[in-house]
Amino acid sequence: MRLSCCAIAAGAWLLADSAVVRAAESGEAAVELAPLLITSPRSTARWLNTPAAVTVIDAGVAPGEQNLTLDALLARVPGVFSLNRYNLAQGLRPAIRGFGARGNFGVRGIRVLVDGVPLTMPDGQTELDGLDLGLVERMEVLRGPASVLYGNAAGGVLAIETREPPIVPTMQLDLSSAGLGYQRTRGEIGGSASNLSGLLAFNSTVLEGYREHSQAHTNSLTGKLRWYAPTGRLRLNFNAIDNRAEDPGGLTAAEVKRDRRQAAPNNLRFDADEYIRQQRLGLVWDGYAEGADEYQLRSYLGHREFGNQLGFATSGQTTFKRYFSGVGGQYSHHRELIGLPHKITTGFELEAQRDDRRRYDNLLGERGQLRQQQDESALSQGLFIEDQIDLNEQWQATLGLRYDQVRLAVDDFYLVDNRNDSGSRSLEDWNYSAGLSYRITSQQSLYARLASSFETPTINELGNPQGGGFNGALQPAQAFSRELGIKGEWPALRYAVSLYRIELEDELVGFSLPAQPGRNFYRNAGESRRDGLELSLDWQLADHWRWSAAYAFNRYRFETYQTTAGDFSGKRIPGIPQQTLFSELAYEQQGAYVRLGVSAQSRVYVDDANSRPAPGNAVFNVRLGKRYQMNEQSVEPYVGIDNLLGREYFDNLRINDANERYFEPGPGRTFYAGLRVLF
């Protein structure tokens, strides 16, 4: 029966979230794992039945985190490898099954959404610098090609859900401090009245950094409004950031041996850094339709100002002003065809961005002569359909098809010697997927999946090594994936095993030029192949004990890849370790918790020739805290130690650096402490 009043509708939307908050604040241990539901396959489905590798991360199972970046949560996902926790000028660089490993900064090859709205730009690039990590409550990681559902740059999907406005008036204050000059101040206020609810959060972080010239200041303001009706829910999200960060750059192996904490000499000399100011607004309507049908309409728009200084003179400073926007929608329809239940989801997406980009000489940190001025634009359009078919009580099939067109253009306004580098490229592709799931028992299922995806170069990656305009030789990458898996779900145990092969053509590979350190250009590898095995386990050992583990074995190689520098056929793809392991044992009782975890990896090659490896490592971390309930208030002091054993490791690797400055050392043992108060 339909909800008949707005107040009841609001309560229904918020019931699950409030139950989680009450359980977390009371400190009661969860002794059962509820059946897991996911939405990253574009419509709500049970995790056990879905013929795809999807991992769900609940931030509630990881209390006491420093929340500097998302890497601590993503470490729990097999097949996900993250670099660059501490250099905020470059940003976290996660990779899913190798997609995203090619860039030296930001997120590439992965589609990122926050509360249903794309954070990924129309050309495929994503920055996580606007995300308030204190608001993150849940993440779904869809591993493997997903272009049928999400279009360009969907080698994997990261769907982030942030905290909904509370039912009762609530205030939070979170203060934390740590080594490396870290200080964070975070405040949040929210509540509801009738069928309206809202939330406002502010976060300010200062980090001096482990290495010389690595100071960062980040500030974010996030607002959320919700309006509930019997026919759906309207969500309005706003986010603004003002960030500035220094870049210490990469070091050679000899420089690391002499002094791990030094900055690259040219990064000091030219005062390498960046600033970002951005405002973003998103609007989503989640609606009911006839019967069990549901639909969603969404839109967003934003403005971003960016500037950086790199460690060289000619064209060493870049600025751009970006305007971006998008609309999209989908409809899920339930009906019976040929005697079988079908759930058919159709949708569309239209996204655009425009950059006013300029490059100047970098005169030891001062702005010099204008060297490039051009307008760059991207227009992305996509249509998709997916059919979920219940063949019988045990078998379920999923079929999908999508068409995408991406137009990239540049208008050159820096006309020297009558040379005009204006131009455009229109790239289009059809992608498909087919999945089959078999319920072995009510607690276990087998699945098989075939899927294709494509990835265009981003506007920045189309930069021409010879000057302005686009690199006309660069082609989009194409991927085809085959996967087999088995899943199990019981009240106290959840596990998953997947085995896959991904074949790629024209994989995008980054490289740099000796005269322009810190700036990447891109080329295509001919053919490459990725074979992998992934295992995950989440086990409630007893009422108060929980064990989580994730392991991945990766065999990623170039099949055919030749450049002027040599023939790299048969070499390992750099930037990804062959093995990764995460394991954590957690204890929680009466609001007190202790978590001991380890993240380990094998060695990683830093160049296409596999001539230089970064050694493997195992980093242990510990978290402790306790929630005290005092009438209507909750107080939670917490402490943490990163790199408990003080091991030497590399926080980031700069792949194919022309000057062999591959390495960014990570810090030793680091302590932090914080206090969270809920009113």
Helix H, strand E, coil C: the string for 494-515 is: EEEEEEEEEEEECCEEEEECCC
* Mean pLDDT, residues 458-469: 77
Q: What pairing do the DSSP bridges indicate for beta strands 156-162 and 111-114?
A: parallel
Residue 324: what pLDDT? 97
- Residue 511: band (very low, low, confident or very high) from pLDDT cuts 50, 70, 90: confident
CATH for the 6-678 domain, from 2.40.170.20, 1.10.579.10, 3.30.1330.10, 3.30.450.40: 2.40.170.20
Residue 33: what pLDDT? 64
By the 10 Å C-beta count (0-12 exposed, 13-18 middle, 19+ buried), 373 is classed as: middle
DSSP letters, 554-595, are EEEEEEE-EETTEE-TTPBPTT--SEEEEEEEEEEETTEEEE
Residue 414: what pLDDT? 85
pLDDT of 25 higher than 60: no
Taking the whole predicted model, whether its pTM rises above 0.85 is answered as: yes
Helix (H) or strand (E) holding 666: none
In the numeric block, the tokens 């993150």 are attached to 136
Q: In whole angstroms, what is the distance from residue 270 CA to residue 2 CA?
A: 64
Q: In whole angstroms, what is the distance from residue 436 CA to residue 443 CA?
A: 17
Residue 29: what pLDDT? 42
Amino acid at 79: G
Q: In whole angstroms, what is the distance from residue 512 CA to residue 29 CA?
A: 51
Residue 20: what pLDDT? 37
238-295 residue pLDDT tens: 999 999 999 999 999 999 999 999 999 999 999 999 999 999 999 999 999 988 899 9
546-569 residue pLDDT tens: 999 999 999 999 999 998 888 999
37-58 residue pLDDT tens: 878 777 678 899 899 999 999 9
Task: Please state which of the ranges 17-31, 323-337, 482-496, 545-559 shows the lowest mean pLDDT.
Answer: 17-31
The helix/strand/coil state of 413 is coil
Q: In whole angstroms, what is the distance from residue 309 CA to residue 277 CA?
A: 16
215-230 residue pLDDT tens: 999 999 999 999 999 9
Q: In whole angstroms, what is the distance from residue 653 CA to residue 659 CA?
A: 13
Centre a 10 Å sphere on the Cβ of residue 637 and count the other Cβ atoms it contains. Answer: 15
| Percentage of the chain modeled with pLDDT above 70 | 94
- Residue 344: band (very low, low, confident or very high) from pLDDT cuts 50, 70, 90: very high
pLDDT of 513 higher than 90: no
Between 15 and 610, residue with greater pLDDT? 610
144-190 residue pLDDT tens: 888 888 988 778 999 999 999 999 999 999 999 999 999 999 999 99
* Mean pLDDT, residues 454-470: 80
567-597 residue pLDDT tens: 999 999 999 999 999 999 999 999 999 999 9
Q: Which residues pair with 433 in a beta bridge?
A: 400, 451
Tell me what the pLDDT averaged over the chain comes to: 90
- Residue 425: band (very low, low, confident or very high) from pLDDT cuts 50, 70, 90: confident
Nearest CA among 678, 657, 648, 653 for reference residue 260: 648
CA-angle at 451, arms to 449 and 456, nearest 5°: 155
Nearest CA among 356, 354, 352 for reference residue 374: 356
- Please answer whether residues 481 and 450 qualify as being in contact, where contact means their C-beta atoms are separated by less than 8 angstroms: yes
Radius of gyration of the chain (CA): 24
Nearest CA among 600, 608, 611 for reference residue 655: 608
Give the domain ranges of the chain: 6-678
Q: What are phi and psi of 195, to 5 degrees?
A: -100, 20
pLDDT of 9 higher than 90: no
Residue 468: what pLDDT? 64
